[in-house]
Amino acid sequence: QVQLQASGGGSVQAGDSLRLSCERSGGGPHNYGMGWFRQAPGKEREFVAAMGWSGGSSHYANYARGRFAISSDNAKNTCYLQMNSLEPEDTAVYYCAAALPFKIRAGIPINEDEYTYWGQGTQVTVSS
C-alpha cells in the first residue's frame, strides 16, 4: 500500500518561498505520476502542478507557472514543490498525490480522478 507524507508547509510573508516535500513509502519500485493540488477555505480543491511517471515532463496551473516548480528525487522517493513569490492567494492546504501509469490519460496527470493515492495535506499560509 502506497502512503504519501507531505511536509514543508508553514506561515510566511508575501514574496517568500517555501518548498513542500512529499515522501512516498510502499508500493514497490514503480514509477508514479506525481501531482500537487490545493484547497483554500471555502473553495474546491484545485490543480497546482504535476509531472509524468517518467519524470521528464511537467504541467502547471496558470497561476503557478513561473513561480512554482515540481521536481522529484527517485532515490528518496520524494516529490517536491518549490514555491516562490508567494501571495496571500496561495494560502491553502496543499496535497500531494500519486498516479498509477495506467490511469494517466495524456502523459501528465492533471485531473483528480487520475490519482489513486493522496497525502494528508500541509497548510501554507501567506500573509500580506
Spatial CA neighbour of 61 closest among 39, 46, 83: 46
Specify the pLDDT at position 98: 95
d(CA 42, CA 91): 12
pLDDT tens digits for 39-55?
999 999 999 999 998 87
Q: Which of 29-33, 40-44, 90-94, 120-124 has the lowest mean pLDDT?
A: 29-33
52: helix, strand or coil: coil
| Backbone phi, psi, residue 90, to 5° | -85, -5
pLDDT at 37 over 90: yes
Specify the pLDDT at position 74: 86
Name the average pLDDT for the chain: 94
Output Rg (C-alpha) for the chain, integer angstroms: 14
